[in-house]
Structure 1
Amino acid sequence: MIKTMKLGTSPLEVPVIAVGCMRINSLDKLEAERFVQGAMDIGANFFDHADIYGGGTCEEIFADAIHMNANVREKIILQSKCGIRKGMFDFSKEHIMESVDNILKRLKTEYLDILLLHRPDALVEPEEVAEAFDRLESSGKVRHFGVSNQTPLQIQLLKKSVKQPLVANQLQLSITNATMISNGINVNMLNDSAVDRDGGILDFCRLNDITIQPWSPFQYGFFEGVFLDNEKFPELNLKIDEIAAKYEVSNTTIAIAWILRHPARMQPVTGTMNINRLIDCAKAGDIQLTRQEWYEIYRAAGNVLP
């Protein structure tokens, strides 16, 4: 069974990987049922959603695939996100409240374990977010809250009014997209790796016990493709394959193990709809890369050390 960890400052004990459901609409009914059941069989019971995935259809497909009822609901952890609208972002009280009601309806449940605010809204008013969170919490519709793609100052601005702990921050991170790590290594250096693009979010989340949930852990660029078995990354794949052979696991397992090796205790969000690949992701929880192996993979991806 998959290993577990604490989510932020919440009492939730969650799997070390989250099952991202953004692509579940690519499966037919039987395939979706088999995938969800397969995830449950290995203890991967944390499912990550967003109201924009498939225009909401992904949540509906998931609820049908898992045959949602009160008994099933007790066995799973549901997280969803809101705040992205066509051509804009919206953290208004009205939109958050309406979004959650629609999410719950599609998921056929009375509550979310975690609600994340999806992408930063330039027009955010923390007082409105706080009122929405208070109402959602008091009504029992949402038990825990977090953010996605936010910087330390954006989080602190929310916390000016929001009283609930923000337990998670979903951020893009992979071996090839590791700027939040590389800028902390290349402090005060005159190279691109020293550029701080996120305000020191990695250390901020560690200091404040906010769980980072890396999204697209196999992607390079912004959804340009996966780096595993990609001829664009020969040195990286050679190194990953070498270490995978040592541990007798797949390259998928090592790519996730690299993220889990970081002491920030992150929870990667997988995107695969292939149960065997999900199993490979879950196996990463049983592997502790050495410091040398972690840095070898880091450098093989083209990341530099000063």
Structure 2
Amino acid sequence: MTESAHVTGGRVLYGCMGLGGGWDTTPYGPQDIAQAEAVVETALDAGITSFDHADIYRYGKSEAVFGEVLSRASGLRDRITLQTKCGIRLPEGDRPGLYDLRGPTIVRRVEESLARLRTDVLDVLLLHRPDPLADPAEIAGALATLHRQGLVRRFGVSNMSATQIAHLQSYLDVPLTVDQLEMSLHRRDWVEEGVLVNTPAAAGVGFPAGTTEYCVAQGIELQAWGALAGGRFADPEATPAGRLVSRLAERAGTTPETVLLWWLQKHPAGIVPVIGTTRPERIRACRDAVTRAPGLSHEEWYELWTAARGTPLP
């Protein structure tokens, strides 16, 4: 088994969902642009050069303010990897939110993202969520068109199982190279499903069995959204796991944020964490996860897992 190639070109991605102001259609302002500039500069200083978007983040404003940053920084586009997602439509009026992976919708959403981001090509496009009504042949046509026109270099998915990826790939001429899933020391289903086989507790695990192994076998990069667990371990005194994270960070001469990312990165699947904090100090605290190999021993990795799950392994 070999480690997945890093499609996005980095060991950590910065997730841009927090940029652009509120979750509404109110226009972004100068303060939002200034925040995005500061965040991007801090991420670059920490060695992070891959940036993850979605067309729905802040109703498109996350992409738009990032486009402002690109337009003001000569040469920046050539130094970074840009990734975005499409496939979710937010609620509108009386219509609830829904998923939409119809071919024309995919093409239109990509064109809109390119305009907001002020670039002529996406390095990676992910299909954000499975659409039960999607025609895979129609998806294949849309992706082929985007690739042929030079608008998207590589493709992937988000929140999809191995079975869903394999089914979709059977229709595609272009390879799916990424699967982005929620993975962290808090959301551990991705690792729990492998060890709870043949135990009653397996029924309570929602992660699709075999997805991690399938992605490794197919050379699909696993990206972990929510990698910092939403700050649940930020207070070292709040939980036994938080206290252990703090002790291991002190022992390794690094930060708790880095330890959380190391826990993901140490797994042989080659997991690439996505961090979404907008606080510069927390972005800087992730630098060692970019510049250093995971500094956890085999035993320490298991200590963290056991502390977080709160019960012994079966």
Tell me, yes or no, whether TM beats 0.5: yes
Number of the residue aligned with 2:93: none
Aligned residue in 2 for 1:126: 136
Secondary structure at the aligned position of 2:51 is classed as: strand
Deviation at 1:233, TM superposition (A): 5.1
The answer for unaligned runs of 5 or more in structure 2 is: 22-30, 91-96
- Residue 191 of structure 1 aligns to a residue whose secondary structure is helix
Task: Give the C-alpha shift of residue 192 in structure 1.
Answer: 4.6
Provide the aligned length of Structure 1 versus Structure 2: 293
CA distance in 1, matches of 2:80, 2:139: 26
* Aligned residue identity for 2:69: A
Q: Distance in 2 between matches of 1:186 and 1:62?
A: 42
1:274 to 279, 302, 305: 279
Counterpart Cα distance in 1 of 2:59 and 2:251 = 43
* 1:6 partner letter: A
**Per-residue CA shift, 1:171-219, capped at 9, x if unaligned?**
0011011111011012211225774531321111111111111001122
Give the AA of the match of 1:301.
Answer: A
Which residue of the partner structure matches residue 174 of structure 1?
184
Q: What's the counterpart of residue 189 of structure 1?
A: 199
Q: Which amino acid aligns with 1:282?
A: R
Aligned mates of 1:160, 1:78 — CA distance in 2: 26
Query: Paired residue for 1:53?
Result: 57
* Range that drifts further, 171-180 or 283-292: 283-292
- Tell me which amino acid in the other structure corresponds to 1:25: G
Hey, which bits of structure 1, 4+ residues long, moved more than 4 A?
A: 230-233
- Per mean C-alpha deviation after superposition, the further-off stretch among 180-189 and 48-57 is 180-189
For residues 140 and 72 of structure 2, what CA distance do their matches in structure 1 show?
30
Alpha carbons 1:37, 1:66 under 8 Å: kept: no
Residues 78 and 42 of structure 1: CA distance in aligned 2, closer, same or farther (over 3 Å): same
For residue 16 of structure 1, the aligned residue among 11, 16, 22 is 11
1:50 partner amino acid = A
TM (norm. structure 1) is: 0.90
Distance 1:226 1:60 in 2: 26
Work out whether 1:75 is the aligned partner of 2:79. yes
From 295, 298, 301, give the equivalent of 2:305: 298
Aligned-pair identity (%): 34
Question: Please, which of 136, 140, 151 is the counterpart of residue 141 of structure 1?
Answer: 151
Query: Does residue 121 of structure 2 align to residue 114 of structure 1?
Result: no
Greater displacement, 182-191 / 30-39: 30-39
Q: What is the CA–CA distance in structure 2 between the aligned matches of 1:185 and 1:266, rounded to whole Å? A: 18
Aligned pair 1:29/2:33, yes or no? Answer: yes
Q: Distance in 1 between matches of 2:105 and 2:67?
A: 23
Superposed displacement of residue 51, structure 1: 0.1
RMSD: 2.0
Q: Distance in 1 between matches of 2:202 and 2:186?
A: 14
Q: Check whether the contact 1:83–1:119 (CA below 8 A) recurs between aligned residues.
A: yes
- Paired residue secondary structure (2:174): coil
Instruction: Tell me how far apart the structure 2 counterparts of residues 301 and 185 of structure 1 sit (CA, whole Å).
Output: 15
**Residues 92 and 124, structure 1, Cα contact 8 Å, conserved in 2:** yes
| DSSP 3-state at the match of 2:285 | helix
SS at match of 1:161: coil
Q: Deviations over 1:252-288 (max 9, x none)?
A: 1111111111111011110011222112223124133
* 1:226 alignment partner in structure 2: 231
Secondary structure, in 3 states, of the residue corresponding to 1:71? Answer: coil
**Is 2:6 the counterpart of 1:7?**
yes
Cα-to-partner distance string for 1:221-264 (whole Å, 9 max, x where unaligned): xxxx5311358951101111110110111111111111111111
CA distance in 1, matches of 2:148, 2:239: 53
Letter in 1 for 2:272: Q
Distance 1:7 1:264 in 2: 11
- What's the counterpart of residue 222 of structure 1? none
- Quick check: 2:237–2:243 contact (8 Å CA) kept in 1? no
- In the alignment, the residues of structure 2 paired with residue 235 and residue 71 of structure 1 have an alpha-carbon distance, to the nearest angstrom, of 46
**AA matched with 2:313:** L
Corresponding residue to 2:250 among 241, 245, 253 = 245
Q: Which runs of 5+ in 1 are unaligned?
A: 220-224
Question: Hey, what's the Cα distance between the residues in 1 that align with 2:296 and 2:44?
Answer: 26
Q: Is the 8 A contact 2:263 2:301 kept in 1?
A: yes
